Amino acid sequence: MTSLNTLVVEVPAEETIPTIDIGHLVNGTPDQRSAMLQTLAKACEDWGFFMLVNHGIPERLSDEMLEAFKALFDLTDDEKGSYIRAHVLDPIRMGSGFNSMTDTGECQCVINYAAILVHPEFYSVPKPLNFRNISKEYSDCTRVIGLELLKAIWEGLGIKESHVMEALKLGLCTQQLSANLYPQYLNPGSAFGLVPHSDRGYLTFVYQNGVDGLQIMHKDRWIHVKPVPNSIMVNIGDHVEIVSNGKYKSLLHRAALNSEMARMSIAMVIAPSLDAIVEPFADLVNADSPAMFRGMTYRDYWEHQKSNNAHVEKRALNIVRLRTDN
């Protein structure tokens, strides 16, 4: 699955990547909302991925966020200072290319990255000077949308919103803003930008600079994703798979390199509170559907995922997996 030479296809003609209009979920008629809830549930179950449209995030703001991160990456190492190779739970950290042990051996990842915690406590870098205001506005917008989507996802599973808000402490959700810069690479067939992996947390929002590179696994095929204009790509994370007791699967995806130009993407992860114990929701566990996962705090899961190459493929889930038939 991690081979660089695995065939990548365009979306098959008989299939279409799901598109979710959040306007229909929030402000639509009862019929529009019902239909969109069904589309969202099917997207989570069949794809673990969808294009989000009518999301309300100004394209101007997304482009400003890209430019602000570009300026951050352009700082000198002295200016980046202690952020370089910080601990995984430090609020601000930056780094560059690394190696990952895959099933087919060690694979080089060609990437520059920056990751910043923006909720429940907001952090920012001092340079560039406009970074704080732009990242605060972008973070606030995406959090509102993320919580609305999660409400709809829980509703599609038959879980009451009040139960989820209390059990999962969504008001104190962990939110991380990050950017990945994949430099132009003359021999893209010899390395990944990022190896196949799933994301921790509930949802990841991805906005990119117009250079394609995202590939997702669907029905045992790698599919090259071409974003819908003015859309944001959203993928399901490991903790939705855990809460849904395996009904919804986190998305396996990877980043390809480009021989002609650099690619940059912004990712916003909406995740549980660091101290929330995440486990299958009680309403989804019964004699016919026993628990697939044990409970673990998000903090412990996050640290585990970043250790011992648990970020590769979907290995991190093994630490909480109780059953092997999912």
Bigger pLDDT: 319 or 89? 319
Give the mean pLDDT of 300-313: 78
- Look over the chain and give the mean of its residue pLDDT values, rounded to a whole number: 87
Give the mean pLDDT of 227-249: 93
Strand partners, 269: 176, 204
Could you identify the residue written with the tokens 């952020």?
A: 83
Q: How far apart are CA 168 and CA 243, in angstroms?
A: 10
Q: Is the per-residue pLDDT at 313 higher than 70? A: yes
List, as one string, the DSSP characters of 290-317. Answer: --SB--EEHHHHHHHHTSTTTTSBTGGG
User: What is the Cβ-side half-sphere exposure of residue 177, based on CA atoms within 13 angstroms?
Assistant: 27
Q: How confident is the model at residue 306 (pLDDT cuts 50, 70, 90)?
A: confident
**What is the reported pLDDT for 1?**
44
Residues 6+ apart with CB under 8 A from 251: 47, 48, 49, 198, 199, 216, 217, 235, 236, 237
Q: Is the per-residue pLDDT at 69 higher than 80? A: yes
Amino acid at residue number 44: C
DSSP 147: H
Give domain limits for the chain: 8-319
Give the mean pLDDT of 213-235: 89
The answer regarding whether domain 8-319 maps to CATH 2.40.160.10 reads: no
Bigger pLDDT: 21 or 212? 21
Q: How far apart are CA 168 and CA 272, in angstroms?
A: 6
Q: What is the pTM of this model?
A: 0.91
